[in-house]
Amino acid sequence: LLGLAVLLLYARRTRRRNEPPLDKGMIPWLGHALEFGKDAAKFLTRMKQKHGDIFTVRAAGQYITVLLDSNCYDAVLSDVVSLDQTGYAQVLMKRIFSLNLPNHNPESEKKRAEMHFQGSALTQLCSSMQNNLQHLVTPSEMGLKVSEWKKDGLFHFCYSLLFKTGYLTVFGAEKNNSAALAEIYEEFRRFDKLLPKLARTTENKEEKQIASSAREKLWKWLTPSRLDRKPERQSWLGNYVQHLQDEGIDAETQRRAMLLQLWVTQGNSGPTAFWVLGYLLTHPEALRAVTEEIQGGKHLRPEEKQKNTPVFDSVLSETLRLTAAALITREVKQDKKICLSNGQEYQLRRGDRLCVFPFISPQMDPQIHQQPEMFQFDRFLNADGTEKKDFFKEGLRVKYPSVPWGTKDNLCPGRQFAISAIKELVFTILTRFDLELCDKNAKLPLVDPTRYGFGILQPAGDLEIRYRIRS
């Protein structure tokens, strides 16, 4: 009876004065949930065309206000009292990682990470990352003789290499067990592939079992006391484990939390490296420009090589513009008035959710970026070769042309490390390997549309390549 009453209450919801346009969809309670989950970008683009930069949709009993006016993201999200990010984060942690961390505070976690991913700690981390990558691309590690061609999928090639590099660097694993490293990557991928389904609780019985088994194995390997080297106290991971212990978190929960951190730190860089190299291989003029830039820096010391690379930086920004698709979600804790950049005010209702989706705007906004679906390697370059920062919408300068690392108060603390690792991988491959498409007319695979909302997109298929280590 109570369920019926709640259902009726929801069905009766109407738009109040000053609230955003309300679109409940045709199906009672479920509303737009199916379309939203199937392809969030397509659905939200359709809603934006229908309603504009702000609207409220119903999905699985929840009312979600979607805000797509990028010039006001920072101002709206800075109100951490009215807009809470912990509640929904807890739900996802439980669904995806089977993890209960009642005191988890994303803001303080980000502060902790920020301390460890900057300054001299960052320099040390980057140098360790470079050593680990150089080790992983030796002929013996790759199981390849010099000049011998090997075929692979580009996504698998990039993701496995960068995952292993990152795991060795951040989790301090020993280099000498490549079979174990390969096994950890394969289990991680089994789990990572199912992540959107786990988040939406749409996995079937068989998928549930695959995810559980992958998680079990990863938990076992990631148990802090079982790692090859116990995380050093002064490292980010060591500090995190210490924090969990200080909070009285039991050993089982600790190892589950390690998988969360494995995904946060290793789940996005590999896919980004894939898109960067995929775009380069399918856009010869971009590949030529990047190769020339790398050649120009050949004489520099290793630590200098990454510094002045405006062409590569533009390629990376353009790649992230096209593939960074995190959905930023908050719970509205109290009624709140928000102001769009055109001065119009709207009321958010307590109990609803607020979502910001920078992928649609600014990143794919045709008023900001001409032909937004096209890869243009020099989109973020001025005519004089410097970084282009000025982009406009309806005559007004936009604050950010792209938001891959999150909004102002929620920036990814690992972004410099991520950029450095992606750069190192791409430069290493372009200088130490011959890398070609198996079919020189091949196109990039389409995006897997279920991944909108979960960070960097992943392809629905792969791009066949052949590569060899140069003599």
Round to whole Å and give the CA distance between 381 and 402: 14
Q: What b/e sequence results for 106-129 when a residue is b if at least 16 CB atoms lie within 10 Å of its CB, and e otherwise?
A: eeebbebbeebbeeeeeeebbeeb
72 with 339: CB under 8 angstroms?
yes
Segment interacting with ligand HEM, rule: CB under 6 A, options 33-41, 109-117, 138-146, 193-201: 109-117
Q: Which of 34, 121, 264, 442 binds ligand HEM (CB under 6 A)?
A: 264
Minimum distance, C-beta of residue 415 to ligand HEM, in the bound complex (Å): 6
Residue 404 in contact with ligand HEM, rule: CB under 6 A: yes
Cα gap 249→80, rounded to integer Å: 26
Residue whose Cβ sits closest to ligand HEM: 414
Task: Name 297's Cβ contacts closer than 8 Å, sequence gap at least 6.
Answer: 304, 305, 308, 309
Query: Nearer to ligand HEM by C-beta: 121 or 264?
Result: 264
Only one of the segments 36-44, 176-184, 260-268, 364-372 lies at the binding site for ligand HEM (rule: CB under 6 A); that segment is 260-268
- CB nearer to ligand HEM: give 231 or 413: 413
Q: Which stretch binds ligand HEM (CB under 6 A): 36-44, 211-219, 296-304, 398-406?
A: 398-406
Residue 417 touching ligand HEM (CB under 6 A): yes
Q: Is 405 in the site for ligand HEM (CB under 6 A)?
A: yes
Give the Cα separation of 353 and 332 in Å (integer).
Answer: 6
Q: Is residue 453 part of the contact set for ligand HEM (CB under 6 A)?
A: no
Contacting residue, 51, 110, 150, 399, with ligand HEM by CB under 6 A: 110
Query: Is 170 near ligand HEM (CB under 6 A)?
Result: yes
Q: Candidates 48-56, 172-180, 324-332, 342-350: pick the segment binding ligand HEM (CB under 6 A).
A: 324-332
Which strands sit side by side in the sheet containing 464-469, from one edge to the other?
Answer: 150-153, 464-469, 433-437
User: Which position among 162, 194, 211, 326 is part of the footprint of ligand HEM (CB under 6 A)?
Assistant: 326
317 binds ligand HEM (CB under 6 A): no
- 413 sits near ligand HEM (criterion: CB under 6 A): yes
Residue 25, Cα to own-chain centre: how many angstroms? Answer: 29
Q: Which H or E run contains 43?
A: helix 40-51
Whether cis (ω within 30° of 0) applies to the bond prior to 362 is yes
Contact 295, 427 (CB under 8 A): no
List the one residue from 309, 410, 420, 450 that touches ligand HEM (CB under 6 A).
410
Nearer to ligand HEM (CB atom), residue 268 or residue 458: 268
* Residues from 173 through 192 that contact ligand HEM (CB under 6 A): none
Q: Specify the residue, 136 or 170, whose C-beta has the smaller distance to ligand HEM.
A: 170
Q: Which of 265, 363, 376, 402: binder of ligand HEM (CB under 6 A)?
A: 265
If one asks whether residue 294 binds ligand HEM (CB under 6 A), the answer comes out as no
Whether 133 contacts 424, CB under 8 Å: yes
Partners of residue 336 on adjacent β-strands: 348
Residue in the block written with tokens 């990376």: 316
Told to check if 254 binds ligand HEM by CB under 6 A, we report no
Are 290 and 315 spatial neighbours (Cβ–Cβ below 8 Å)? yes
Q: Which range touches ligand HEM (CB under 6 A), out of 157-165, 296-304, 393-401, 406-414?
A: 406-414
Give the residue among 216, 51, 55, 146 at the shortest CA–CA distance from 469: 146
Beta bridge partner(s), residue 362: none
Q: Which is nearer to ligand HEM, 262 or 287 (CB)?
A: 262
Q: Name the packing angle between helices 415-432 and 310-323 (round to 10°).
A: 110
- Tell which residue, 95, 98, 90, has the closest CA to residue 329: 90
Among 37, 278, 401, 406, binds ligand HEM (CB under 6 A): 406
Distance CA(444)–CA(437), nearest Å, equals 10
Quick one: which of 56, 269, 361, 376 contacts ligand HEM (CB under 6 A)? 269
Q: Helix or strand or coil: residue 210?
A: helix
The contact set with ligand HEM (CB under 6 A) reads 106, 109-110, 113, 170, 264-265, 268-269, 272, 324, 326, 328, 404-406, 410, 412-414, 417-418, 455-456
